[in-house]
Amino acid sequence: MLLRVILLIIIGVAIYRFFGGKVPFLDKKEKSEVEKDFGNSIQGTSKCAYCGVYMTEDDALIYQRKAYCSNECLENHKKEK
């Protein structure tokens, strides 16, 4: 009986999230982890780790805690390693 209730709650939450619902304690955790990850290295503007171009935080592609201006730079950087 208890197992069935738990299963129903899990399914309910899954459906809720599928339709764009936010689960506060889950989403908050995700957000704080992202902020922690980006907080130190990227603030406002970022410099491309490959070509050195400056871009806004919104345009930056993040890979292994480094910022890239475009997918091209990211791929080139990976190839050089």
49 binding Zn ion? (CB under 5 A): no
Interaction of residue 73 with Zn ion, rule CB under 5 A: yes
Q: What does the alpha-carbon distance between residue 14 and residue 51 come to, in Å, rounded to a whole number?
A: 42
Task: Kindly tell me which of 19 and 64 has the beta carbon lying closer to Zn ion.
Answer: 64
Beta strands 54-56 and 61-63: pairing type? Answer: unpaired
User: Which one of residues 48, 60, 67, 74 is an interface residue with Zn ion (CB under 5 A)?
Assistant: 48
Among 46, 50, 67, 74, which residue sits at the site for Zn ion (rule: CB under 5 A)?
A: 50
Q: For residue 58, give both structure tokens.
A: 């919104």
CB nearer to Zn ion: give 38 or 63.
63
